Each structure stands twice: as structure tokens, then as C-alpha cells.
């Protein structure tokens, strides 16, 4: 009743796309300045939101995209543009200004979506669910999805220990690094979307 090949394939695909090690500096940058209790809550909220979005698209994602007449490249480009805006804020330090950003729940946006539950992960899950043609394959797909989000929660939850070591100066450095990484990821996502548009013509 369990297909390890399906589980391993989807789990590795999601691990590469969602990149738990790479999300660590971005999580630290977006949650810096908040109490440890709030940061811990944001870790599980981000994982829960991402799981919820992925689950919805896994169950009826293709129908949603078809109903709204949204193509996969359009989803990728839109997600890339949103990530780019966030990356620019991190690079310029705007996220550190004493404004309303401290009251915004970044666990929902951008952490939960589109950073974790981005277009790549959504499309991968939609395809995996469509190709799972047996009960054991379906079970394996959903176990892989759940396991990936548990890993994401654990990585974000225990990345808070890093803050205690690097202090405020290190957080600023990590924020700039996260902004640079996120901007590159956003641009690559936009390029991939445009490439798919050109290839489909």
C-alpha cells in the first residue's frame, strides 16, 4: 500500500524546489526583530499555509487554473515578480524600517506563498497527483507532501538558534544575502516562465 519510488521522486523534487536549507536565511531576515515565541509561531504557520495551498492545488489545481484561464508560465512569472519586490526590500533594508511591517504576518506572504508554495511546487504536485493512478501511489504522493512540510517546519523552527549566535550585525548581513539570493531566484523564475511562453508558441 505504499510506493517508495513515487514517494522518493516527489519528495526529492519538492526538496530541490522548496529548498529548506536556502529558506533559512530568508526566514531569519523576514522574522528578525520579533520575539522568539512569535518567530516559532511563524515557522509552523508558514509550513501550514504552504501545505494548505499545495493541498488545494493537489486536489483541484488543474481545474482552478483552467477555470481562470491561467497558464503555468503566467503563474511562474507572477510569482517571480512578487518575489522580486520582496527581494528588493531586503536588499535596500526597507524591511528593517520601524513601520507597519513589524505587524505584518510574513508567515502568510511571502513565506507560505509564494516562497514555499511557489509555482514550481504547485505544478509538481498537480502533475504528481495526476500521474498517481493507484491508491498506493496517491497515498505515497500525499505522504511525500506532508513529510516535506514537516522538514520545512523543522528547518525554520531551529534556524532561530542561528540568530542567538550571529547577533544583530549578523542578521543585517543575512538579510542582504537573503535579498540577493531571493532576487536571483525571482529572476530565474521569470526567465523560466518567459522561456515556456516562447517554447509554446
The pLDDT assigned to 94 comes to 61
Torsion angle, alpha carbons of 107, 153, 81, 32, to 10: 50
pLDDT at residue 137 tops 50:
yes
pLDDT at residue 53 tops 90:
yes
- Whole-prediction pTM value? 0.76
Instruction: Check residue 1 and report its DSSP letter.
Output: -
Quote the percentage of the chain above a pLDDT of 70.
Answer: 93
Between 30-39, 50-59, 95-104, the lowest mean confidence (pLDDT) is in 95-104
Please compute, for residue 130, the number of CA atoms within 13 A of its CA located in the half-sphere on the CB side: 11
- 28 or 174: which carries more pLDDT confidence? 28
Torsion angle, alpha carbons of 25, 82, 106, 185, to 10: -20
Phi/psi at 90 (nearest 5 deg)?
A: -65, -40
Q: pLDDT of 78-126, one tens digit each?
A: 888 888 887 887 788 665 443 334 556 888 888 898 889 988 899 889 9
Torsion angle, alpha carbons of 72, 84, 56, 2, to 10: 80
The average pLDDT across 127-132 equals 90
Q: pLDDT of 140-154, one tens digit each?
A: 999 999 999 999 999
Per the structure block, which three cell numbers stand in for 42? 511563524
The owner of cell 513565506 is 111
pLDDT at residue 165 tops 90:
no
Please compute, for residue 29, the number of CA atoms within 13 A of its CA located in the half-sphere on the CB side: 28
The average pLDDT across 162-173 equals 74
Between 25-29, 44-48, 178-182, the lowest mean confidence (pLDDT) is in 178-182
| E strand or H helix that includes residue 124 | helix 119-131
The owner of cell 543575512 is 174
Question: Whole-number mean pLDDT of the chain?
Answer: 86
The pLDDT assigned to 125 comes to 94
Quote the percentage of the chain above a pLDDT of 90.
Answer: 37
Q: Considering only CA atoms, which of 18, 43, 47, 56 is closest in space to residue 112?
A: 47
Distance set, CA 19 to CA 11, 15, 100, 195 (Å): 11, 5, 29, 22
Amino acid at each position: 500500500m505504499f510506493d517508495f519510488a513515487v514517494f522518493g521522486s516527489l519528495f526529492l523534487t519538492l526538496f530541490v524546489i522548496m529548498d529548506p536549507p536556502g529558506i533559512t536565511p530568508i526566514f531569519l531576515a523576514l522574522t528578525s526583530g520579533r520575539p522568539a515565541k512569535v518567530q516559532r509561531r511563524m515557522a509552523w504557520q508558514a509550513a501550514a499555509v504552504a501545505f494548505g495551498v499545495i493541498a488545494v492545488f493537489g486536489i483541484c489545481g488543474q481545474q482552478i487554473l483552467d477555470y481562470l484561464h491561467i497558464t503555468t508560465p503566467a503563474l511562474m512569472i507572477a510569482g517571480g515578480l512578487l518575489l522580486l519586490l520582496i527581494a528588493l526590500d531586503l536588499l535596500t533594508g526597507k524591511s528593517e524600517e520601524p513601520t507597519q511591517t513589524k505587524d505584518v504576518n510574513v508567515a502568510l506572504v511571502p513565506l507560505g506563498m509564494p516562497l514555499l508554495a511557489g509555482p514550481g511546487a504547485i505544478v509538481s504536485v498537480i502533475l504528481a497527483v495526476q500521474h498517481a493512478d493507484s491508491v498506493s501511489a496517491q497515498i505515497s504522493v500525499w505522504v511525500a507532501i506532508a513529510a516535506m512540510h514537516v522538514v520545512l517546519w523543522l528547518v525554520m523552527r531551529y534556524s532561530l538558534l542561528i540568530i542567538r549566535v550571529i547577533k544583530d550585525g549578523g542578521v543585517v548581513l543575512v538579510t542582504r544575502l537573503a535579498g540577493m539570493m531571493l532576487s536571483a531566484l525571482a529572476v530565474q523564475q521569470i526567465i523560466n516562465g518567459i522561456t515556456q511562453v516562447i517554447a509554446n508558441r
